[in-house]
Amino acid sequence: MEGIDVFFFLWAASLIFFMKAGFIALEIGQFSHRNAAYHCVLKLLDLAAVFIGYLAIGYGISYGLENIIPLVFGGFDVELGAWFMKMVMFAAAAVTIITGGVAERIKILPYFIGALIVGGILYPIVEHLVWGGGFEALGIAFHDYAGSGAVHLFGGLVGLMAAWALGPRAKKYINGIPQALPGHNIPLAVLGAFILAFGWYGFNIGSAASVGDGLELTRVALATTMALAGGIIGGALSSRNDPLYTANGMCAGLVAVCSGVDLFTPIGALIVGLLAGLQQPFTFKFIEEKLKIDDVCAIGPVHAMSGLIGVICAGIPFLLRDPSATSFVGQVLGAVIISLIAIIGGAILYKGLDATIGLRVSKEVEEVGLDEGVLQVSAYTND
């Protein structure tokens, strides 16, 4: 590996790491100020859980168990170390999506354990299939350049299963009818979306295997930019310019473009982003009204559905520079397998945690707010 490629991988890892700040801001702004500090603790702990679980076993599941000893004891070469640093950030991104679905009601310990298992076992199984040669060995032609399926479809569905296992917030449904529970800081949420978009250039461009002559990197950057624009327009159109749907639309477009970002034409990327932004209100309504899942920060539409759209669109020839580069059937099969792993694995994991140590804080704590009820602190002062 050339020195410039090592730097490139570590640059990408750094930008993806900074996306954590975007996730925190985007999510906190969408719910009550009484739970903001507690949510920060969850975000910090899931980061630690993933780093530990992925080092101990996750990377080995993804790319070969023989890599565990050199990683744990420091005997790795530069290529293994650089690749690990980039891929552990992808794992962290997949797991942190879960928090957006379980906000304002989950206990810290089961959340940490869940993040440890998802980041150390469940996600690496999917990563092995997508990037570790698993689908190829099964004869499935699946293309997922930067993780619409491996990271976002998977993470969004696991998060929805966790939210289902938890049950809705106390005030979410009255006589079976979902109630709007407005967030406390829209500008903070929008700022978070912009931070995520900034980090997404590392997420997508950094998925290249090397710097090369720069052409692939430039194509990926342009497709990322056009999908971002399409997502904003789609979110604004379908929500009549609601600021949260518009900001989340930007993220949805970026989620969707990941799978085929190296292959989409600029116009194709714009269309993919537009579709992802447009579907948000309808998917969110289906999740909360039909499925009765309290998806606090809209991880269903932004990650799960947009990830699915991106995976499928990466198999549609007219959106691609090279129509023969992917297989529509392979994309569908890959999406189905990833979805089944996420849904079944997530349901078993979080229902199991609920049955053993309990997932949810008490009604009294939820009523007063998790900052005061658990941490005895406040994210904001009255001064």
pLDDT confidence bin for 1, thresholds 50/70/90: confident
Check: CB of residue 329 under 8 Å from CB of residue 139: no
Q: Between the CA of residue 167 and those of 163, 175, 292, 361, what are the distances in Å?
A: 6, 15, 9, 11
What's the average model confidence in pLDDT over 68-76?
Answer: 96
- CA 108 – CA 59 distance, rounded (Å): 25
What's the average model confidence in pLDDT over 29-48?
Answer: 98
- pLDDT tens-digit series, residues 84-134: 999 999 999 999 999 999 999 999 999 999 999 999 999 999 999 999 999
Domains of the chain, first to last: 3-172+183-374 (1.10.3430.10)
- CA 232 – CA 147 distance, rounded (Å): 20
What's the average model confidence in pLDDT over 196-208?
Answer: 97
Return the percentage of the chain with pLDDT > 70, whole number. 100
- Tell whether the model's pLDDT for residue 338 goes beyond 80: yes
- CA 217 – CA 178 distance, rounded (Å): 44
pLDDT confidence bin for 381, thresholds 50/70/90: confident
- The sign of the dihedral angle between the CA atoms of 156, 310, 144, 270 is negative
- pLDDT tens-digit series, residues 207-241: 999 999 999 999 999 999 999 999 999 999 999 99
Check: CB of residue 147 under 8 Å from CB of residue 308: no
The per-residue pLDDT for 230 is: 98
Taking Cα atoms as reference points, which of 134, 167, 169 lies closest to residue 61? 134
Give phi and psi for 292, each to the nearest 5. Answer: 60, 35
The per-residue pLDDT for 130 is: 98
The per-residue pLDDT for 382 is: 73
The per-residue pLDDT for 296 is: 98
The number of residues making up the chain comes to 383
The per-residue pLDDT for 241 is: 97
Return the percentage of the chain with pLDDT > 90, whole number. 99
- The sign of the dihedral angle between the CA atoms of 202, 208, 212, 214 is negative
- pLDDT tens-digit series, residues 287-311: 999 999 999 999 999 999 999 999 9
The per-residue pLDDT for 269 is: 98
- Tell whether the model's pLDDT for residue 383 goes beyond 60: no
Is-above-0.85 flag for pTM? yes
pLDDT confidence bin for 8, thresholds 50/70/90: very high
Mean pLDDT of the chain: 97
